């Protein structure tokens, strides 16, 4: 994907260079909000990502240190993907998108309950998402 990094030091430009394509945040959403962790599960998303794009994005997200891959210890022909701390730190962004779309997309399927939780207990929800994400990773924790 996006080969050309703008590299201006601007945080918005950096974010867009790293996750500013049509698919990366869909994958991250699936991992963070829907507990998905395999290639096959990402492929089955209703948005319909192509196999080559998915492969490319997973590689890219690994290279950027946003996700990690390892073999499933239980089903050894499966590869498990999990969010790193850097990936988990994207949770606020995802939640903001939910709120924004809820208010401005007439066709949204975001639930009122979720939006109220985000607005009233943002910190608690973020903590919960982080814990679930860490549990899936089962990597050495750095904190």
Partner DNA sequence: TAAATCAATTGCAAAATGCAAGCAAAAAAT
Partner DNA sequence: ATTTTTTGCTTGCATTTTGCAATTGATTTA
Interacting residues with its own copies (CB under 8 A): 2, 6-16, 20-22, 25-26, 29, 46-47, 65, 86, 89-90, 92-94, 96-105, 107-110
Which of 33, 39, 122, 126 is close enough to bind DNA by CB under 7 A?
39
> Whose Cβ is closer to its own copies: residue 20's or residue 79's?
20
Residue 2 interacting with DNA (CB under 7 A): yes
Strand partners of residue 80: 70
| Closest of 92, 87, 84, 86 to residue 123, by C-alpha | 92
Q: Which residues contact 71 (CB under 8 A, 6 or more apart)?
A: 78, 79, 80
Shortest distance (Å) from residue 73 CB to its own copies? 29
Instruction: Please state, in angstroms and rounded to a whole number, the distance separating the CA atoms of residues 89 and 15.
Output: 12
């Amino acid at each position: 994907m996006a080969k050309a990094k703008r590299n201006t030091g601007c945080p918005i430009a950096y974010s867009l260079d790293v996750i500013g394509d049509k698919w990366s945040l869909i994958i991250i959403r699936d991992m963070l909000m829907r507990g998905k962790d395999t290639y096959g599960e990402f492929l089955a998303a209703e948005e319909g990502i192509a196999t080559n794009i998915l492969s490319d994005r997973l590689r890219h997200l690994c290279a950027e240190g946003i996700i990690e891959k390892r073999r499933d210890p239980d089903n050894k022909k499966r590869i498990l993907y999990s969010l790193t701390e850097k990936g988990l730190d994207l949770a606020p962004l995802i939640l903001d998108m939910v709120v924004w779309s809820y208010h401005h997309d007439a066709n949204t399927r975001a639930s009122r309950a979720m939006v109220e939780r985000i607005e009233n207990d943002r910190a608690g929800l973020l903590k919960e998402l982080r814990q679930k994400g860490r549990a899936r990773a089962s990597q050495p924790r750095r904190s």
